[in-house]
Structure 1
Amino acid sequence: MTTLLPTTERPITALPKVLFTKNFSVTSAQLAALEGAPYEVWASHTDPDHGMLAAAPHTFLEPRGLLGDDYAAWLLSACTERGITLVIPGKERERLGHWRPAFAEAGIALIVPTDEATQRHLERKDEFLRAWDASILPIPQWTTFDTSASFEDGLKALNTDGVRLCVKPARGIYASGFRVLMERPDLDSFLKGELYQMSVAAAREMFAGGALPTMLLMHTLEGAERSIDCVAWQGRLIRAVVRRKGEQGQRLEDRPDLVAAAEKIAHTYHLSGIFNFQTKDDNSRVPHMLEINARASGGLRYSMAGGINFPRLLLDAATGTLDWAALPPVRTGLSVAEDKVVRVLGTADLAEAEQGEPEAAAG
């Protein structure tokens, strides 16, 4: 069993210091949600203008270009120097799973989703699907391809009347590389700006010409798509929020079946932290598993509108202060949408002065 609390505890005379390292923009919402919480909140990033740094009361810059063990060693030193006792990493999250003992020895709880091997397994969608326990949720019919020939083999193997196919890379985030395959170009879809469609002929042309990264080819389910945001601690689910995606917004649903699936996922992979999984219904309204992301989703803000403060619950669990018997209820039946907020980060004159005039830079 993984223990993320430090094995060598230092006396804490002030608020515990928690650091969120370089991550996606949704982390800004997590930082904002911790306002007033009994933690001293820090954020770090390589980009001085990133929203994470605007959302945190304490910040510092990360050096650019550090990867792997070099980054982990730098992070350990930076946290020790500042007296940080909890770290929720974004960058190099998988490799940092290997560094938990070193951080614990320094009195720092490194909160990674699970061990390095399991994180990489979940990131490799083909490996994940092969090993998936379909008793939790079924999965669509699928195969892989890495050449034009194996793409054609996959088309033949999965061809079913009335069922469209889709492609996506076995390694990727968000919707990068995802396309639904159409038998022929569709003008209406093009004019409507539907970006996630491609004709089979265009796919054949793109995949011709040599080896490809491992790609998935699978049945496209045409029912409702859901994203389930979860927070867990050492394999025990704390809370899960189920949101059904729509064209104008999203709806927070009461789905005990998908919450039960979240409990099994947290236990199976012994997850700690905020994670997400995606499902889509078939024509019989049966949800099918698509993927698990061992990180916060880009749509976490929607789920937080259901009354669940994901980062606060996680930190309370990590510090042993979470009251498991008094967890907040999830508000369901809500339709939610997101309004973007503009933040003032500084003045244009100051930014230009810092960069220098083009002529001076050339000289």
Structure 2
Amino acid sequence: MNVLFTKNFSVTAAQLHALEGTRYTVWASHSDPGHGMLAAAPHGFLEPRGLLGDDYAAWLLDACSRHDIQIVLPGKERERLASWEDRFSAAGVTLITPADEATQRHLERKDEFLRAWDTDVLPIPRWTTFDNLQGFDEGAAALGEPGVRLCVKPARGIYASGFRVLMDPPDLKSFLKGELYQMSVAAARELFAQPGVPTMLLMHTLEGAERSVDCVAWRGELIRAVVRRKGGEGGQNIEDRPDLVEAARRIAARYGLSGIFNFQTKDGPDASGRTRTPNMLEINARASGGLRYSMAAGVNFPLLLLDAATGVLDRAALPPVQTGLSVAEDKVVRVVRRQEEVVS
């Protein structure tokens, strides 16, 4: 069965390698001929540059026909592709998108998501939004508490792009250590005084442990979740956290998710101010950049997803999640092509 992973981040290569030796024949497509996804897949082809929306979806459907692809796990344009699932199905292709287009876009808009979030599942830190200097100043005044630092991040973004913890006064030691995710309040005010500021979140910075929960689900049913706590010397720790696995189950059901998704938490004080409890930060309807760490816990996320999509998943025989592990990454360099194969 031919399975296509379309244009995505380079960390997708870990999923492609995880399917080696299975009943699935892995294909990858990307617009960059030197991309790591193409190097990791035994079969692949190039995507045209610049196609978006329905034009990209139509091209992809035709490409699946030409290359005899039966299943597609899209990276690029996955939101818009959700409305094309029936057309792909009519052509004999299973298109796996996380949810309908509206739900995916809701989760991407972090301000919209937080406003609608059910705090019975997990609490959230105090927050507000701004899009200019006045809004920033008013938000900082409203959220300011003794001993609490504030942080900012874009309402739409991926990974840690645009995230900064606000320092007042600036910390020289952090600067000399190369801390990338801190900014002085003065620098922030200068930045946000400029025109064209997008919608930004201003939040309490929670000082406890940060966790990333990688999940795989099918049609709203959680299959497996792995909880990893960040920190340590370049590694992460796989934890046994039934409370966060239950949160993952409720998230999958609430949004009707299919595929690999992730949510981020950080510990903050509870109502008593004494006990640390996980707070919800965001849900990403896509595989996380750190999924490869969670796969070290004995969970083959892409294989479970594909088996669920093709109806062969044996839920009674799912491998257990290995917890209590400390995991680290050992990067591998691969040859993409020989220099003489490059045509100038």
> Normalising TM by the smaller chain, what interval?
over 0.9
Q: Which amino acid in structure 1 is aligned with residue 158 of structure 2? A: I
- List, as ranges, runs of 4+ consecutive aligned residues in structure 1 with deviation greater than 6 Å: none
Q: TM-score, normalised by structure 2?
A: 0.97
Comparing 29-38 and 208-217, the one that deviates more: 208-217
2: CA distance, partners of 1:316 / 1:346: 32
Does structure 2 conserve the Cα–Cα contact (< 8 Å) formed by 1:185 and 1:199? Answer: yes
Task: Specify which of 166, 171, 178 is matched with residue 186 of structure 1.
Answer: 171
Task: Specify which of 275, 279, 284 is matched with residue 288 of structure 1.
Answer: 279
Per the TM alignment, residue 347 of structure 1 is displaced from its structure 2 partner at its CA by 2.5
In structure 2, the residue matched to 1:361 is: none
Deviations 1:285-334 (A, max 9, x none): 20000000000000001000000000000000000000011111000000
In structure 2, the residue matched to 1:96 is: 81
**In the alignment, structure 1 residue 303 sits paired with structure 2 residue 294:** yes
In structure 1, the residue matched to 2:272 is: none
Deviations 1:124-154 (A, max 9, x none): 0000000000000000000000111010110
Deviations 1:220-275 (A, max 9, x none): 00000000000000000000000000041100000000000000000000000000
Q: Which amino acid in structure 2 is aligned with residue 346 of structure 1? A: R
**In the alignment, structure 1 residue 176 sits paired with structure 2 residue 161:** yes
**In the alignment, structure 1 residue 266 sits paired with structure 2 residue 265:** no
Q: Which amino acid in structure 2 is aligned with residue 105 of structure 1? A: A
**In the alignment, structure 1 residue 146 sits paired with structure 2 residue 131:** yes
| RMSD of aligned Cα (Å) | 0.8
1: CA distance, partners of 2:335 / 2:225: 33
Could you tell me which runs of 5 or more consecutive residues in structure 1 were left unpaired when the two chains were aligned.
Answer: 1-15, 356-363
Does structure 2 conserve the Cα–Cα contact (< 8 Å) formed by 1:148 and 1:210? Answer: no
Per the TM alignment, residue 30 of structure 1 is displaced from its structure 2 partner at its CA by 0.3
Per the TM alignment, residue 350 of structure 1 is displaced from its structure 2 partner at its CA by 3.6
Query: How do 1:76-87 residues align onto structure 2 when only pairs under 5 Å count?
Result: 76-87=61-72
% of aligned pairs identical?
Answer: 75
Q: Which amino acid in structure 2 is aligned with residue 337 of structure 1? A: A
Per the TM alignment, residue 184 of structure 1 is displaced from its structure 2 partner at its CA by 1.6
Q: Which amino acid in structure 1 is aligned with residue 220 of structure 2? A: G
Task: Specify which of 218, 242, 259 is matched with residue 233 of structure 1.
Answer: 218
- Matched residue count: 338
Does structure 2 conserve the Cα–Cα contact (< 8 Å) formed by 1:237 and 1:262? Answer: yes
Could you tell me which runs of 5 or more consecutive residues in structure 2 were left unpaired when the two chains were aligned.
Answer: 270-274
Give the SS at the match of 1:143: strand
**Which protein has the larger Cα radius of gyration, Structure 1 or Structure 2?**
1
1: CA distance, partners of 2:4 / 2:337: 23
Q: Which amino acid in structure 2 is aligned with residue 147 of structure 1? A: N
**In the alignment, structure 1 residue 25 sits paired with structure 2 residue 33:** no
1: CA distance, partners of 2:188 / 2:320: 46
